[in-house]
Amino acid sequence: MPETHKHNPLFADLGVRPETVAALENVGISRAFAIQELTLPIALAGDDLIGQARTGTGKTLGFGIPLIDRVKAQSDGASGKPQALVVVPTRELCIQVSNDLDNAGATRKIRVLSIYGGRAYEPQVEALKKGVDVIVGTPGRLLDLAQQGILKLNEVSILVLDEADEMLDLGFLPDVEKILTQLPDTRQTMLFSATMPGPVVLLARQFMNRPIHVRAESPDELQTVPTVTQFAYRVHAMDKVEMLARLLQAKDRGRTMVFCRTKRAAQKASDELAERGFAAASVHGDLGQDARERALKKFRSGKVDVLVATDVAARGIDVGGVTHVVNFHCPEDEKTFLHRVGRTGRAGDAGVAVTFVDWEELARWQSINKLLELPFADPEETYSTSEHLFTDLGIPEGSTGWVRTPEPAEPREVTKAVTRAPKDGKPTRRRTRRGKPTVGADVESTSHKVAVASPASAVELPTFHPAPATEPAINPTPIQRPAPTDIHALFSHA
């Protein structure tokens, strides 16, 4: 834990169950972050709350610890029906939150089940039949199982919307409202996110009971994480990969996340980096769930140290050791920017965030820059060979865009005309042009026969002289034309 957090309160001093404290100590967590210190007394008392804090400052355990403390374990007489429901926007975040809750509830053996799409129904249905205490899921699969009658939510007493600003957006709001109709009216509701716009807070209050809005920092503080060093460069689209390849050779670079706007751009950037010799993988919506989980597993284990992703990974992916975040494309808005950059500088660690701004993205970037009060209203024009790029990011002098020597292109083969031996004993003839033989090219023919020599001897082809072209013979018999008298005779008869 960083030096600045050694004076934070212990979970044991905040009224957390001893079993939960012991489970957290087993994974090296003993002291609370600011958002946890503020929310735990409120949440443990069963009150509704809205928690807001910077990305990477411990929001998951801010609702996870009270949730684990308040549900009944199987040994306490739990019925096997879900007592708590956590709704998240992405599959990756679903897995992440489930793992954190598993760790917190390990001592009491709290049964946590993750439910999300892209996986077979059968294992999830089987786990529900055996009994669960806490469910973490994405809206689509949760609603599907609930409408089929497989998922019973009538005993849920705690509801959590993680990344609440996203969950209450127009894309998810209809599904969230349908899920709310399946829950009891009397329940505890908690909303957590790094960004909480005013309209979202007003909407949330419609289905909450006098919630307390808790912010871990004052409104005057910057929304970006102070331990993250920011850079922004105006770049040319054709030079982005070359700049990125040099950036990845920066001194003390650890795991790096690169964010692209589209799925195709993410896959292309990942492929190009791999071709240049970097250990890169990609995560985006065109990949199947198995492929996405394999890529994240390799990234966590260190088999690859560059993860290229769309914004599907910008929320909730908590991987230790991420030292650099690169916005390969300018984010759509300030919320996306905060969630992207929040992948580094987590839990008080230092990090570096670099944003590439294309000329056509300048207006959007200036809006983000103004809202977040960043000092990059007019990013410096930068190329892969610019000296300040190497100086700012600690890139060794002489670094190129390749960490391995590119394979030379194969030389093109020049086909020369050669005399071919007869194939399978078939006769050949020499091609001619205007009655004269053409050197080098022989073609098969069935009208001229040649002797086939033994392999040890050369094949002697006869010179072919075609017969001179002759004009068709003219009929020597003159054409018979009627005499003029005969014509007059014809008219006279008419």
CA–CA separation, 276 and 123 (whole Å)? 41
End-to-end CA distance of the chain: 126
Confirm whether 46 is domain-assigned: yes
> Average pLDDT for residues 464-491, to the nearest whole number?
54
Asked if the structure places residue 425 within a domain, the reply is: no
Average pLDDT, the chain: 85
Specify the pLDDT at position 448. Answer: 45
Residue 261 neighbours by CB distance under 10 Å: 17
Poorest-confidence range of 125-129, 141-145, 209-213, 418-422?
418-422
Answer yes or no: do 252 and 120 share one domain.
no
From 359, 393, 427, the end of a domain falls on 393
What's residue 9's pLDDT? 93
Residues 142 and 59 grouped into a single domain:
yes
Residue ranges making up the domain that contains 139: 3-215
Final residue belonging to a domain, choices 376, 393, 410: 393
Q: What is the pLDDT of residue 472?
A: 53
Contact partners, residue 363, CB within 8 Å, separation at least 6? none
- The domain that holds 385 is classified in CATH as 3.40.50.300
DSSP letters along 231-278, please?
A: EEEE--GGGHHHHHHHHTT-TT--EEEEE-SSHHHHHHHHHHHHHTT-
Count other C-beta atoms under 10 Å from residue 430's C-beta. Answer: 19
Model confidence at 146, pLDDT cuts 50, 70, 90, reads very high
Q: How far is CA 65 from the centre of its chain?
A: 30
Residues 270 and 322 both lie in one domain: yes
How many angstroms separate the Cα of 159 from the Cα of each of 7, 196, 287? Answer: 31, 18, 30
Characterize 177-189 residue by residue with b for buried, 16 or more Cβ atoms within 10 angstroms of its Cβ, and e for exposed: eebbebbeeebbb
Least confident of 90-94, 419-423, 427-431: 419-423
* 253 in the same domain as 339: yes
pTM score: 0.73
Distance CA 334, CA 55 (A): 13
Q: Is the pLDDT of residue 435 over 50?
A: yes
- As a whole-number percent, the residues of the chain with pLDDT over 70 amount to 79
Among 177, 192, 215, residue at a domain's last position: 215
The verdict on residue 427 lying in a domain is: no
Q: What angle do CA 148, 154, 155 make, to 5 degrees?
A: 130
| Residue appearing with tokens 């950037």 | 269
Q: Are residues 150 and 235 in the same domain?
A: no
pLDDT tens sequence across 248-284: 999 999 999 999 999 999 999 999 999 999 999 999 9
CA distances from 32 to 56, 102, 157 (A): 13, 18, 25
Report the pLDDT value the prediction gives residue 489, as an integer from 0 to 100: 52
DSSP H/E element including 212: strand 212-215
> Both 18 and 99 in a single domain?
yes
Residue 1's pLDDT is 44
Task: Give strand ranges (E) for 311-434.
Answer: 322-327, 351-357, 380-381, 428-433
Domain-located, residue 475:
no
- pLDDT of 50: 94
Q: Is residue 488 in a domain?
A: no
Residue 465 lies in a domain: no
Which has the higher per-residue pLDDT, 300 or 7? 300
Residue 134 falls within a domain, yes or no?
yes
pLDDT at position 149 = 94
Kindly state whether residues 89 and 179 are assigned to the same domain: yes
Tell me how many domains the chain contains: 2
Contact between 386 and 377 (Cβ < 8 Å): no
* pLDDT class of 196 with cuts at 50, 70, 90: confident
